[in-house]
Chains A and B, each alone.
Chain A
């Protein structure tokens, strides 16, 4: 399995990245997975260019592919103006809107004060609900003071356990369906055909759908 961490931390070293790494380690202790970290600060310029050119540069393209093909995702952002950072949102804006459908996602954030902790529930969770991801029940928020306090380790463990459980369960489900007969995906009853990595509805069916009854 493949676990991808998307970190929107801006400084080096970054407490956002640190939280992402802690969550990833706790997850792979429970479910064996290869971990890949995507640092958005390295992709900032390509993300901006993607908005104006309509296509990702090479490094951003590789990061988007990694996210789309992950079995599970940990997303971590610093809090900016009571929400996720613009860079964090921009990355998910250039991601294919279907890329996260059904994918388990652990949401996490860092901030200077515990007063922002509900950012997970009022900003991150709706974003990933919109993207049809499966967001684990426990989100992890770490204020500066949490790094020297009790409770953070327990929250990390609980969230990681939930993510590992979903990743394992979903991958078991995929293995079961793969061992059975090959099911052809359908869309509104139409069989899809493949070519060049695309899936399209055969033309007769596109045309037939437009014929008057």
Chain B
């Protein structure tokens, strides 16, 4: 099981002081947060992608490249990468480059974005959101697996004899999670490819998450990638902790009450009850997070949102300290204890290289790992 943090990269004024960080401060804070995650032994740092204020992370591979140079173990990921408005060729190249520089510590999460005007800004039509996600990923999938690609589609100029460079490290592309909150088509897409499915459940009730994960798991099994229990699931969550739960509630309430994503709606108490939000002691976070497996099954990746709603960097770093020192070690042990045999660990580059090598030696082809895999043939 992998644990980490994911950032949206919002610039939100601190409601207790009225002060908003500058973009420069916020960007530097995000990389400090990533370095802290490495320091306390978390597995993953993921950044969002946005192209409009009040968000800063428009260029994830630039940021992740900087973090890659200053970390040793952290897996660098996204939450999300816009498969709808980015050119899939550029995604293939950017993330392959990052993968080399980070020695394989890279995966990414595909998403469609939630800001309507981004589509026309990048020359796309929001009504084609799902179709763009389907076609662009189908191209990206091939660019990482076939050395020379001829391709023609609806949304991009055709490619003749195109080779995306650099080729993926060790011939194994970055692992892909498909993130979706409410589109069953994306759960179906993740299942079809045998990729991961990340349900960002942070603003959603458990029964909705349960249904989306059920759909993905049943379709994953349908497409022959393994049993439903072996499907690769990730979940979100958001926490604010203090030793004493009353202190956590008292300190977080003004942030909750004024946050663009929560504020002026349901109470902190109602929201905590209905969604994964946990405001309290480390023990409460452990208990609630362990409860996720009761409706999502045994899953592979848990990402926490901790740096939002205008919280000062100091408080955020304290959250990551608590996650690393008190929460995650217990969760690792408890999740491992509960996980039935046969449910796989979260994918890593090393494990995927080993799997590809084993598959090659069985088939005796000796071809580059993963190269030339014919997904369409394999699943029909």
- Chain A residues proximal to chain B, CB less than 8 Å: 48-49, 52-55, 57-58, 61, 193, 195-204, 206-207, 209-212
Contact = CB atoms under 8 A, between A and B. Distances in A.
A197 to B, nearest CB: 5
Given A52-B265, A55-B274, 15 more contacts: A49-B270, A53-B203, A54-B203, A55-B203, A55-B204, A195-B218, A196-B213, A196-B215, A197-B215, A200-B184, A200-B215, A203-B192, A207-B135, A212-B152, A212-B153
B138 interface: yes
Interface in B202-232: 203-205, 208, 210-219, 222
A210 B131 contact: yes
A212 B134 contact: no
B362 interface: no
Contacts, number: 89
B127 interface: no
8 contacts: A55-B205, A55-B274, A193-B219, A196-B187, A196-B215, A196-B216, A204-B379, A211-B153
Contacts of B380: 204
Interface in B38-54: none
A141 to B, nearest CB: 35
Contacts of B24: none
Given A206-B134, A210-B134, A197 B211 contact: yes
A212 B265 contact: no
B188 interface: yes
A200 B134 contact: no
Contacts of B222: 193
B188 A57 contact: no
A210 B203 contact: no
A199 B183 CA distance: 11
Contacts of A204: 192, 376, 379-380
B264 interface: yes
A49 B267 CA distance: 10
Contacts of B208: 55
A1 to B, nearest CB: 26
Contacts of B154: 210, 212
B189 A196 contact: no
Interface in B320-337: none
A57 B267 CA distance: 12
Contacts of A203: 134, 188-189, 191-192
